[in-house]
């Protein structure tokens, strides 16, 4: 079958070439006949004119002239018809060839465009793979605005911060809280579970007591849970490292302290650690009785500060904030 097919193809090709050659020869013959027809008609007109004038039998000359004119006209029409048909066919064939060539060129252009798009895509993907995105540790990544809005403690802290409308109240409250924290002996090392919970429990108790005395909106069940669960401290303290507002470079409005850069976080634990060491030394020097004697006065100051607060609506959020401290 393949041999037969290969044999048929050259024959078809040769036949096609022969046919096209014959057609082209016929076309050229037709054109030559049309060119010669003019001279023939002129020569025939001269001959009939001479014969009409010289010969006596004019009738036969006229009849012959008529027959010749009719035949010449029919022959001319025939020649012109064949020539025009061939010209039309030739032009249509060339138009079809041009349309096929346009289709091929369009196909090539489309393939070239696809290749170019593929190259661009590959280049983009390579360049995107080359770029190394910076990877930060989880604790250095600030939560986004949406998470802050959605998050519980952070949102509560924000609301508590915003509740302190006046900066003087805020500073007073902060200083009071810090003094109460300083008086309580902090743990010697950063451990998640505090070794000596009684002093901090006292502060928390005082805070909860003072706050419950201010407003009775908080449910008692929640207060009991908060007072009983000491395991909340490490989690809240670890969370407060990332969100604790700095006391040195604090902006005028407390709500703007949310724009803390990640570079400030590594320095924050160091400062707190040194402060803790100093407090530890002080605590070792001071007797415990003096601490117990001073605690009520400090807690009283905390109570005053809390009483001087303007808005006392969000108690739960304030509890969280106090827990973080």
Binding site for other proteins (CB under 8 A): 62, 66, 69-70, 73, 76-77, 80, 84, 87-88, 91-92, 94-95, 98-99, 101-102, 105, 108-109, 112, 119, 122
Nearer to other proteins, 102 or 222 (CB): 102
Nearer to other proteins, 113 or 139 (CB): 113
The answer to whether 255 and 161 are in contact (CB under 8 A) is yes
CB of 109 to other proteins, least distance (A): 7
CB of 60 to other proteins, least distance (A): 13
CA 283 to CA 273: how far, in whole Å? 15
Nearer to other proteins, 25 or 62 (CB): 62
Q: State the CB neighbour count (10 A cutoff) for residue 76.
A: 15
The answer to whether 210 and 204 are in contact (CB under 8 A) is no
Nearer to other proteins, 94 or 256 (CB): 94
CB of 69 to other proteins, least distance (A): 6
Nearer to other proteins, 37 or 227 (CB): 37
CB of 108 to other proteins, least distance (A): 6
CB of 66 to other proteins, least distance (A): 6
């Amino acid at each position: 079958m393949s041999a037969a097919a290969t044999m048929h193809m050259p024959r078809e090709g040769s036949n096609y070439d022969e046919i096209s050659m014959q057609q082209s020869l016929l076309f050229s013959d037709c054109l030559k006949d049309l060119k010669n027809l003019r001279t023939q008609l002129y020569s025939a007109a001269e001959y009939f004119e001479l014969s009409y004038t010289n010969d006596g039998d004019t009738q036969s000359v006229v009849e012959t002239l008529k027959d010749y004119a009719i035949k010449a006209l029919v022959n001319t029409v025939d020649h012109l018809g064949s020539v025009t048909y061939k010209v039309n066919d030739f032009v249509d064939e060339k138009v079809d060839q041009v349309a096929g060539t346009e289709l091929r060129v369009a196909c090539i252009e489309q393939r070239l465009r696809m290749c170019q798009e593929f190259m661009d895509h590959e280049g983009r993907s390579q360049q995107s793979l080359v770029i190394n995105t910076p990877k930060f540790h989880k604790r250095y990544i600030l939560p986004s605005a949406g998470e802050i809005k959605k998050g519980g403690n952070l949102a509560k802290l924000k609301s508590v911060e915003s509740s302190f409308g006046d900066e003087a109240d805020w500073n007073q409250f902060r200083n009071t809280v810090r003094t109460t924290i300083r008086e309580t002996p902090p743990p010697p090392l950063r451990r998640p579970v505090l070794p000596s919970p009684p002093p901090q429990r006292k502060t928390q108790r005082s805070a909860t007591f003072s706050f419950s005395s201010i407003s009775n909106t908080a449910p008692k069940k929640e207060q009991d849970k908060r007072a009983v669960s000491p395991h909340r401290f490490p989690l809240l303290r670890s969370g407060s490292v990332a969100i604790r507002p700095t006391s040195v470079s604090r902006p005028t409005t407390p709500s703007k302290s949310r724009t803390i850069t990640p570079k400030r976080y590594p320095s924050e634990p160091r400062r707190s650690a040194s402060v803790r060491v100093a407090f530890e030394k002080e605590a070792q020097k001071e007797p415990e009785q003096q601490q117990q004697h001073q605690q009520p006065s400090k807690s009283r100051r905390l109570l005053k500060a809390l009483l001087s607060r303007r808005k006392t609506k969000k108690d739960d959020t304030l509890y969280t904030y106090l827990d973080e401290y």
